[in-house]
């Protein structure tokens, strides 16, 4: 059976956390519900699942790529245009360090940005169930449940203190 | 054990500790009195090293006298190494107090106690005044030589450089001890009625009329801030003076405006490194794991990482300017200090001061341990020693005799290897510094009791919805 | 450091999006006025390009004047943003929250403005296409095997500046995603679609927030070394030159960096005061924030002063005739010696004297004066490094001359100030200059500790 989303809106974080507890008690897997907020709450504030990521790999890979490109670029341009200047060797390492450093950092940062977007699963072309009141301070508890569980979940969210419950099928109300 | 167990969740697990203020004083007092066999062994070993240092010094003086600075290069190096630590460490206590960092609390006294070791610097400096070559060329006006060698004293104001140098070193030691005294007064007052013997006498004399009134706390706070600001300016100035007089100005033609800055950065680096090593020993083997949390190591390690990056940055700024300039003297300096004469020492210096500590500190999970930052601290201390050997041995032997008054160092000299007396002086000197530090821990508690107690007022463990977090009062 | 009253999300949205959702009356008038100044400056640049460098005061031996001074000045201002934002994020300073975004955007625009200066200064800006500006590292004539010379600081410089510019833009954009989502939810029509695209489908789930928070710290840590390298490399445009003795100094890199931070942080403090005044953001940019910036500036200024002293002391230390000639010009020849005194006075003694007083730090008029004073001083600093060095460049004294900027140069330099202001105002019209979610996070984490009869402000901390 396909899972459908249902979104409960809460005025206080305490109630949203209560909803989380109730969902857990009702046997809804933690991967099936999420807390949508307009600001970063400390990790674990809602008793939510721990999110793992591999963001830290991105800058390292980026730095390695940038380092390689930087070394090749600076070495090859010097070799390709062998003009001696000020008694410096044709293949001069110290100036290579400068440009290579910049290329390393640039690529590390660009890769990090890519990593942030990738790990955040952005851009999300289909936004899914959402309510604009979330960016007004309401806390959304987004639950994916089997179709036949929509109504019990709605009741559960309402009992936990939801001021409104939004459903994909147009159903709404607390 | 007077402390609760370490708290934190997820990646922050075990980072935070919350000592119990009620039992803290008694617990620390008992720890201070207890003398373990390991401590006794350390005291004996470092005491023997101290004796070796004295033997090395006497033998060097008997062999070479005090006429030339050349044979004293290694002595200068070990003086500078101790000076770097003792001058930089009290500043760490002041700086983190200034930034109101709560994690500094267990670190403050460990850092301040280094100011007692500063007395060793003051004593060691006396012979250094004798063998420092004069600013004036003894031969007078000679063609091809300078009448007055290049120094930061220019035309040589009255007493320069020796009187001012000594005054500076003494002033620094006195200010550092004043910081320690001001900071420790409250702790001494607390124990003055229970401490016996010399300690009791000392506490009663030094804690004066401290009763912990509001006014006294305010004065103490303002006093520490003022002394810290004063000390900071003096330290930076003395690093400039010392590094110029005993290094830069001894190599004819070495004009390097960044060198005093490199010296200061290295000092901050090695002093923080030494503090971390001391903290680790106290936590692992001193029984202070309930008071020195991993959060202190973690936060200090980030500062150490920053300073380590600054070290290589300043070194590169010096190197690239000289490399690019390619004047004869610049090439000679690079060959002498980096690429030729002392190349091995330089490579080791770069490894220990940058490559290895960076490789350790760049990993956040390693920074979150107690051993990671301490290991990096040990590495930078070794790196600092190599830096001092490279710079001060090279400077002392760059231009013997009248060559010192040449316009430029025209030839790159050969390296000077240590003899047995140099080894005695270097190893023994470091041992002597540790010996004095160990003794100082018998006089004052290694933990700043009032600061840790104050911390218990502002650091709590509390709940926010479903999670538990640290609650930090008066955040930065 | 939490003196403000608690704020709700609705109030934060309403007050901080005021500039975007409702244009103030003065907005278009001000933009038009600034636009006209910029156009006027562009016209002056056009005249210069058409007529040649003869219309400027540049002449042998002083071939770097106002343009390069202004270039270094704007690069310096750009250092405030990311430095301030990065250091404060890494140190978890609570008072960073309202200051980061404006600082980062100031970085981007001052960098862009800075780069126009060497372009104009070339006299034939289109020829830089042959260099590495538009197509990085593509040789300008590879049929003849000629490649960019990576051994020159003039190539290091654009490589560093473009790295910094790209990084700063990406940094700002990533941090803007959650705020774009707020705007997406509060707009309609075409604006809604544009903000929707920029928000990339942001929902605000724990994973996205976790990544956003880590991104702030990680990117700060990565950009910080870049920011240090940029001004160092700008300093090496000067420091590598052996022929100008006063420039060839090993301390130039950190000296320039600290100076840049000094001028940049002062500029950010001034911009924040302006924003507070113009947009009525008293709840966000509070006296405590300006006070904290001023205390930071005391340390930065004193660090800068130390580097200045080192630079001057070692200028004399070498006792080399050609360098003494430059120092003599700086310190003994009127009007340069007067400028020198003004420079040190307005960059260090006046502002630091002000910042030592708590009441002065919390008086926004006095703070504005101090911050402007620093920036006048720092502009002068660059001028007094560049021109006297060149004016007394070598022992061949027949070539010694001085420099007097022409009206064309004044107009172009003035135009850059109008350009940065205009661009900042335009951005304020489309994106919040104070990060909404950062302020909201501060509100979530805000708490109190009771000690005896006193209630102390406190925060929840994860680490």
What are B326-373's pLDDT values in tens digits? 999 999 999 999 999 999 999 999 999 999 999 999 998 999 999 999
Tokens of B12: 């922050």
Q: Are both A39 and A72 inside the same structural domain?
A: no
Instruction: Give the span between the Cα atoms of B431 and C311, in whole angstroms.
Output: 38
What residues have CB less than 8 Å from B224, skipping those under 6 apart? Answer: B94, B97, B179, B182, B183
C137: pLDDT strictly greater than 70:
no
Q: Which residues of chain A register pLDDT less than 50?
A: 173-174
Interface residue ranges in chain A relative to chain B, Cβ cutoff 8 Å:
13-14, 17, 20-21, 41-47, 50, 86-88, 94-95, 97-98
Judge if A34 and A63 occupy the same domain: no
Considering only CA atoms, which of C425, C424, C419 is closest in space to residue C104?
C424
Within a domain: A11: yes
| Least confident range of B235-244, B263-272, C130-139 | C130-139
pLDDT of residue C154: 87
Residue C394: domain span: 9-459
Nearest by CB to residue A34, choosing from C137, C205, C225, is C205
In a domain, C319, yes or no: yes
Question: Which helix (H) or strand (E) element contains residue B306?
Answer: helix B294-325
The mean pLDDT value for C164-179 works out to 94
Stated as kind and residue range, the H or E segment containing C448 is strand C446-451
Contact (Cβ atoms closer than 8 angstroms) between residue B344 and residue B389: no
What is the C-alpha to C-alpha distance for residues B304 and B310, in angstroms, rounded to an integer?
10
Model confidence at B194, pLDDT cuts 50, 70, 90, reads confident
Which neighbouring-strand residues pair with C459?
B472, C446
What tens digit of pLDDT does each residue of B402-444 get?
899 999 999 999 999 999 999 999 999 999 999 999 999 988 9
CB contact under 8 A, B476 and C94: yes
H or E stretch at B234: helix B214-246
Which chain C residue has its CA at the smallest distance from A116's CA?
C211
B294 close to C (CB below 8 A):
no
CA–CA gap between residue B137 and residue C51 (Å, rounded): 58
The residue among B6, B295, B300, B476 with the most chain C CBs within 10 A of its CB, best to mutate, is B476
| B359 Cβ neighbours under 8 A, 6+ residues apart | none
B180-189, C41-50, C128-137: range with lowest mean pLDDT: C128-137
Calculate the average pLDDT of chain C.
89
Buried b (16+ CB within 10 A) or exposed e, B362-395: eeeebbbbbebbbbbbbbbbbbbbbbbbbbbbbb
Same-domain pairing of A38 and A87: no
Query: CA nearest C439: which of C90, C175, C168, C167?
Result: C175
Contact B249/B149 with Cβ under 8 angstroms?
A: yes
Measured between beta carbons, the chain A residues lying within 8 angstroms of C185 are: 132, 134-136
Q: Where are the alpha helices (DSSP H) in C200-251?
A: 206-239
Across the interface, of B150, B469, B473, the residue whose CB is closest to C317 is B150
Length of chain C: 463
Write out pLDDT tens, residues B215-257: 999 999 999 999 999 999 999 999 999 999 999 999 999 999 9
Listing DSSP states for B54-117 in one string gives HHHHHHHHHHHTTS-SGGGHHHHHHHHHHHHHHHHHHHHHHHHHHTT-GGGTTTHHHHHTHHHH
Q: Which value, in Å, is the radius of gyration of the alpha carbons in chain C? A: 23
Tell me whether B177 touches chain C (CB under 8 Å). Answer: no
Is the residue at A173 inside a domain? no
Contact B194, B29 (CB under 8 A): yes
Q: What angle do CA B218, B220, B224 make, to 5 degrees?
A: 120
Taking the CB of residue C241, how many other CB atoms lie within 10 A of it? 18
Q: What are the sequence ranges of the domains in chain B?
A: 38-472
State the Cα–Cα distance between residues B49 and B35, nearest whole angstrom.
20
Q: Which chains lie within 8 Å of chain C at 3 or more CB pairs, if any?
A: A, B
Q: How far is C182 from chain A (nearest CA, A)?
A: 5
Contact B102, B454 (CB under 8 A): no
Tell me the per-residue pLDDT of C266-318, one tens digit each, with 9 for 90 and over.
999 999 999 899 888 888 888 888 998 999 999 999 999 999 999 999 999 98
- Smallest Cβ–Cβ distance between B470 and the set C250, C457, C461 belongs to C461
Minimal Cα–Cα distance from C12 to chain B, Å?
Answer: 22
Residue-level pLDDT at B12? 64
Q: pLDDT band at residue B143, thresholds of 50, 70 and 90?
A: confident
Range of the domain at A31: 3-51+127-167
Residue A62 and residue A92 share a domain = yes
Determine the angle formed by the axes of helices B162-191 and B114-131, rounding to 10 degrees: 160
pTM of structure? 0.94
The string of pLDDT tens digits covering residues C185-204 is 999 999 999 999 999 999 99
Residues of C in contact with B326 (CB under 8 A): 242
Residue A42 belongs to domain with CATH number: 3.30.70.120
Q: Is B417 on the interface with A (CB under 8 A)?
A: no
Q: Are C226 and C257 in contact (CB under 8 A)?
A: no
Q: Does the distance separating the beta carbons of C462 and B152 come in below 8 Å?
A: no
H or E element, residue C375: helix C364-391
CA C44 to each of CA B354, C31, C72, C87, C117: distance values in angstroms, whole numbers, following the listed order: 50, 20, 21, 39, 13
The pLDDT, as a whole number, for residue C96 is 82
Tell me if C320 is assigned to some domain.
Answer: yes
d(CA C340, CA B317): 26
Closest CA to B120 of B439, B443, B448: B439
End-to-end C-alpha distance for chain A, whole angstroms:
26
Query: At residue B272, does pLDDT exceed 60?
Result: yes
pLDDT interval class at C105 (50, 70, 90): very high
pLDDT digits (tens, 9 = 90+) for B76-121: 999 999 999 999 999 999 999 988 888 999 999 999 999 999 999 9
Q: Does C458 touch chain A (CB under 8 A)?
A: no
- Element (H or E) spanning B464, and its range? strand B459-464
Q: Are B399 and B319 in contact (CB under 8 A)?
A: no
Q: How far apart are CA A8 and CA A159, in angstroms?
A: 11
B375: pLDDT strictly greater than 80: yes
Average pLDDT over residues B205-224: 91
Provide the sign of the torsion angle of the four alpha carbons A4, A9, A13, A19, taken in this order.
negative
Nearest chain B CA: its distance from C451 CA (Å): 7
Q: How confident is the model at residue C146 (pLDDT cuts 50, 70, 90)?
A: low
Q: Where are the strands (E) in C69-228, listed by range?
A: none
Of A21, A45, A86, the CB nearest to B326: A86
Chain C residue at shortest CA distance from B154: C317
In chain C, which residues have their Cβ closer than 8 Å to the Cβ of A99? 150, 155-156, 159
- Is the CB of B473 inside 8 Å of chain C's CB atoms? yes
Rounded Cα–Cα distance for residues C268 and C103 (Å) = 6
Mean pLDDT of B41-52: 96
Residue C387 dihedral angles phi and psi, to the nearest 5°: -70, -50
Q: Is residue A174 assigned to a domain? A: no
Residue C355 pLDDT: 94
In chain A, what residues touch C157 (CB-CB under 8 Å)? none
Residues A17, B316: C-beta atoms closer than 8 Å: no
Search chain A and give the residue with CA nearest B323.
Answer: A94
Give the minimum alpha-carbon distance from C270 to chain A in angstroms, rounded to a whole number: 28
Is the same domain home to A141 and A157? yes
- Considering chain B, what percentage of its residues have pLDDT values greater than 90? 72
Beta strands across the sheet bearing C454-461? B459-464, B467-473, C454-461, C446-451
Full DSSP string of C244-293 = STTT--TTHHHHHHHHHHHHHHHHHHHHHHHHHHHHT-TTTS-HHHHHHH
Number of domains chain C contains: 1
pLDDT band at C109 (very low <50, low <70, confident <90, very high): very high
pLDDT value of position C372: 96
Digit-coded pLDDT (tens) for B159-170: 788 888 999 999
Return the pLDDT at C133. Answer: 44
Closest by Cα among C229, C211, C117 to C167: C229
Gap between the Cα atoms of C223 and C108, Å rounded: 13
pLDDT band at B171 (very low <50, low <70, confident <90, very high): very high
Check whether the bond before A123 is cis (ω within 30° of 0): yes
Tally of structural domains, chain A? 2
Looking at chain A, which subunits does it touch, using at least 3 CB pairs closer than 8 Å as the criterion?
A: B, C
pLDDT at B2: 46
């Amino acid at each position: 059976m396909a899972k459908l989303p249902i979104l409960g809106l809460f005025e206080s974080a305490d109630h949203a956390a209560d909803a989380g507890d109730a969902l857990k008690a009702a046997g809804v897997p933690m991967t099936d519900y999420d807390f949508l907020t307009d600001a970063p709450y400390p990790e674990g504030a809602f008793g939510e699942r721990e999110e793992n990521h591999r963001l830290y790999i991105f800058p390292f890979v980026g730095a390695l790529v940038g380092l390689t490109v930087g070394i090749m670029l600076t070495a090859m341009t010097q070799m390709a245009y062998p003009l001696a200047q000020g008694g410096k060797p044709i293949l001069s390492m110290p100036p290579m360090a400068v440009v290579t450093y910049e290329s390393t950092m640039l690529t590390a940062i660009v890769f990090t940005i890519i990593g942030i977007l990738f790990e955040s699963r952005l851009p999300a072309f289909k936004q899914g169930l959402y309510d604009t009141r979330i960016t007004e301070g309401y806390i959304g508890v987004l639950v994916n449940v089997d179709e036949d569980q929509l109504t019990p979940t709605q009741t559960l969210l309402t009992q936990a203190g939801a001021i409104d419950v939004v459903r994909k099928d147009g159903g709404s109300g607390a | 054990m007077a402390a609760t167990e370490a708290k934190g969740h997820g990646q922050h697990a075990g980072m935070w500790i919350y000592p119990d203020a009620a039992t803290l004083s008694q617990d620390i007092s008992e720890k201070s009195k207890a003398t373990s066999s390991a401590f006794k062994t350390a005291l004996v070993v470092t005491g023997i090293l101290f004796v070796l240092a004295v033997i090395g010094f006497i033998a060097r003086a008997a062999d070479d006298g005090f006429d030339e600075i050349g044979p004293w290069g290694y002595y200068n190096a070990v003086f500078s190494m101790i000076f770097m630590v003792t001058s930089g460490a009290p500043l760490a206590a002041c700086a983190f107090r200034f930034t109101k960092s709560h994690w500094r609390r267990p670190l403050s006294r460990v850092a301040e106690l280094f100011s007692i070791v500063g007395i060793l610097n003051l004593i060691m400096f006396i012979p250094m005044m004798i063998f420092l070559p004069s600013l004036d060329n003894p031969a007078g006006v000679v063609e091809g030589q300078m009448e007055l060698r290049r120094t930061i004293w220019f035309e040589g104001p009255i007493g320069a450089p020796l009187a001012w140098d000594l005054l500076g070193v003494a002033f620094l030691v006195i200010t550092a001890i004043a910081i320690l005294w001001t900071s420790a007064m409250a702790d001494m007052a607390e124990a003055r009625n229970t401490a016996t013997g010399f300690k009791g006498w000392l506490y009663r004399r030094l804690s004066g009329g401290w009763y912990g009134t509001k006014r006294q706390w305010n004065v103490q706070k303002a006093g520490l801030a003022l002394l810290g600001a004063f000390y900071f300016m003096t330290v930076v100035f003395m690093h400039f003076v010392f590094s110029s007089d005993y290094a830069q100005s001894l190599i004819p033609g070495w004009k390097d405006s960044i060198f005093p800055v490199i010296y200061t950065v290295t000092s901050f680096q090695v002093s923080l490194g030494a503090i971390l090593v001391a903290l680790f020993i106290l936590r692992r083997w001193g029984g202070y794991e309930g008071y020195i949390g991993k959060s202190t190591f973690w936060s200090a390690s980030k500062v150490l990482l920053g300073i380590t990056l600054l070290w290589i940055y300043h070194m590169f700024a010096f190197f690239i300017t000289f490399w690019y300039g390619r004047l004869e003297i610049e090439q000679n300096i690079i060959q002498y200090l980096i690429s030729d004469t002392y190349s091995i020492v330089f490579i080791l210096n770069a490894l220990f001061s940058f490559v290895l500590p960076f490789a350790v500190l760049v990993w956040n999970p390693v920074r979150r341990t107690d051993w990671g930052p301490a290991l990096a601290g040990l590495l930078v201390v070794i790196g600092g020693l190599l830096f001092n050997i490279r710079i001060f041995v090279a400077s002392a032997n760059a231009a013997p005799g009248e060559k010192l008054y040449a316009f430029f160092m025209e030839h790159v000299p050969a390296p000077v290897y240590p003899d047995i007396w140099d080894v005695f002086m270097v190893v023994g000197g470091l041992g002597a510094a540790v010996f004095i530090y160990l003794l100082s821990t018998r006089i004052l508690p290694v933990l700043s009791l009032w600061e840790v107690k104050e911390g218990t007022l502002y650091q709590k463990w509390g709940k926010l919805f479903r999670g538990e977090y640290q609650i930090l009062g008066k955040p930065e | 450091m939490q003196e403000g009253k608690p704020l709700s999300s609705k109030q934060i949205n309403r007050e901080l999006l005021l500039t975007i959702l409702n244009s103030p009356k003065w907005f278009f008038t001000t933009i038009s006025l600034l636009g006209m100044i910029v156009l006027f400056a562009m016209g002056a640049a056009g005249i210069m390009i058409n007529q040649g460098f003869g219309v400027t005061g540049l002449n042998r031996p002083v071939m770097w004047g106002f343009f390069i001074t202004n270039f270094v000045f704007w690069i310096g201002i750009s250092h405030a943003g990311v430095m301030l934002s990065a250091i404060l994020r890494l140190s978890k300073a609570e008072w960073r929250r309202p200051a980061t975004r404006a600082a980062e955007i100031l970085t981007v625009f001052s960098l862009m403005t800075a780069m126009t200066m060497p372009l104009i200064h070339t006299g034939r800006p289109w020829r830089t296409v042959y260099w590495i500006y538009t197509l990085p590292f593509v040789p300008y004539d590879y049929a003849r095997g000629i490649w960019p010379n990576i051994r020159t600081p003039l190539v290091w410089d654009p490589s560093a500046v473009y790295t910094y510019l790209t990084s700063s833009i990406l940094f700002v954009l990533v941090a803007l995603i959650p705020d774009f989502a707020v705007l997406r939810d509060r707009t309609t029509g075409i604006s809604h679609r544009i903000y929707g695209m920029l928000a990339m489908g942001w929902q605000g789930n724990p994973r996205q927030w976790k990544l956003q928070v880590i991104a702030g710290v990680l990117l700060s840590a990565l950009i910080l070394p870049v920011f240090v390298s940029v001004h160092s490399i700008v300093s090496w445009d000067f420091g590598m030159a052996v022929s100008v003795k006063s420039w060839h100094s090993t301390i130039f890199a950190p000296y320039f960096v600290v100076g840049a931070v000094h001028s940049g942080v002062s500029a950010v403090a001034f911009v924040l005061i302006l924003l507070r005044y113009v947009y009525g953001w008293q709840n966000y940019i509070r006296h405590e924030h300006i006070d904290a910036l001023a205390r930071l500036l005391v340390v930065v200024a004193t660090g800068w002063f130390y580097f200045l002293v080192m630079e001057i002391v070692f200028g004399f230390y070498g006792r080399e005739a050609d360098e003494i000639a430059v120092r003599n010009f700086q310190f003994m020849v009127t009007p340069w010696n007067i400028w020198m005194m003004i420079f040190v006075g307005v960059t260090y003694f006046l502002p630091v004297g002000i910042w030592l007083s708590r009441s002065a730090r919390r008086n926004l008029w006095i703070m504005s004066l101090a911050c402007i004073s620093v920036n006048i001083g720092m502009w002068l600093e660059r001028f007094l490094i560049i021109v006297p060095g060149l004016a007394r460049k070598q022992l061949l004294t027949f070539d010694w001359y001085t420099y007097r900027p022409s009206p064309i140069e004044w107009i172009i330099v003035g135009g850059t100030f109008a350009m940065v202001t205009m661009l900042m105002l335009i951005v304020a019209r489309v994106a919040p200059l104070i990060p909404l979610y950062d302020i909201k996070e501060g509100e979530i984490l805000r708490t109190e500790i009771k000690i005896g009869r006193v209630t102390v402000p406190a925060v929840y901390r994860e680490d």
